Structure 1
């Protein structure tokens, strides 16, 4: 097993884009960030909007409190200290460790009810300690899950993340439900879960003003 793990880590590392040395913004996280490839994903769309280099270390299947190498979101951005880190995470932790109910233990590991502790606050605190500001991109409601019990854990996650962000002016929570509508299928890929290229562009358009706000 150990023989197989190292080549897998090296392969995954090769799949992540390099970060330009002069990039003041790095995008990290899971498939919501990485979807649509390196020419149309969120980082690429931000680069076009802002007309400046944007680093991208996001990767599908990545987790906050799990994963190996670049499949672990804290490890994706380890060693970097840009002005801004744009990131998300938690969906793969929830999907792999609980169903659409009884998710309290997983949520508690990600972020406590008051937003002060857990894997996500620990990650954000480490970035803030290095001087980076954080734009945490909260999830939208995907058509596949709209109107189902699967919405509840994500609503709870958003509530806890909002409490976390309220404690630090250097952390901004971007609520994609304010711009995404689950009934607008043009914003979603054919799986009715991930963003389409148009959806990735909308995420970038939502985040970009925060990154240029002095």
Structure 2
């Protein structure tokens, strides 16, 4: 029974995983990875990567996966991208766009008593933890990094409202990480993107972005890439 469940979980992860680099996509220069904030609306061609492509006129390799996180312990799923670190593919990227950490707060500590989890993701000074390690790996390969924060939903009753204090702290630490390499790491908060009481940038679950939300996220990322030589 357990083996069957794990096999099904792995199959789901594989089906939800984004593009692989192929001969047809080897000239792409933008690589995107992360969790469902990036992967949402992919099936309809309206994900964050699609908006970046539209605005920049450049192909984006999208490897983001629903429910992905940094600390993922079940077997068989790492290669399918459920671990954010497993999504990365070294290449001649000019830019790597990513997000992550939200599912570690939701599933790793249920958005309560998450100080230890936040520290594991990124230290107070922004220099240690799973996220800085991932970013350092990308920078060592020569790409610039855009790290996206998460949408908020001010004025709306949301099932993840308890995560907000930890999400805010995560944003502060990510900004400190970006400050260590201002020409190579760009942190983009998304906390101000949703107008107060406006549900239109979220799906009905008030967690995942709607096509409008994905477009707004992609537009902000594309503007940063364009403004910094992309």
Query: 182, 187, 190: which one pairs with 2:201?
Result: 187
Partner of 2:118: 107
> After superposition, what is the alpha-carbon deviation per residue over 1:5-37, rounded to whole angstroms, capped at 9, x for unaligned?
567546533532324211111111000000012
- Report if the CA contact (8 A) 2:159-2:206 is conserved: no
* Corresponding residue SS for 2:64: coil
Structure 1 residue runs without a partner (length 5+): none
User: Which range moves more in the overlay, 196-205 or 99-108?
Assistant: 99-108
User: Which range moves more in the overlay, 147-156 or 133-142?
Assistant: 147-156
* Corresponding residue SS for 2:209: coil
> After superposition, what is the alpha-carbon deviation per residue over 1:168-201, rounded to whole angstroms, capped at 9, x for unaligned?
1200000112322352111111111111000000
- Where does 1:46-195 land on structure 2 (aligned, <5 Å)? 46-66=52-72, 68-69=78-79, 70-142=81-153, 143-145=156-158, 148-169=161-182, 170-195=184-209
* Count of matched residue positions in the alignment of Structure 1 and Structure 2: 214
- Report if the CA contact (8 A) 1:141-1:182 is conserved: no
CA distance in 1, matches of 2:206, 2:7: 34
> After superposition, what is the alpha-carbon deviation per residue over 1:70-90, rounded to whole angstroms, capped at 9, x for unaligned?
111111013344111111000
> RMSD value over aligned CA atoms?
2.2
* Corresponding residue SS for 2:123: coil
Residue 2 of structure 1, CA deviation: 6.4
- Report if the CA contact (8 A) 1:66-1:72 is conserved: yes
> After superposition, what is the alpha-carbon deviation per residue over 1:89-110, rounded to whole angstroms, capped at 9, x for unaligned?
0011011121333111101110
| TM-score for the superposition, normalised by structure 2 | 0.85
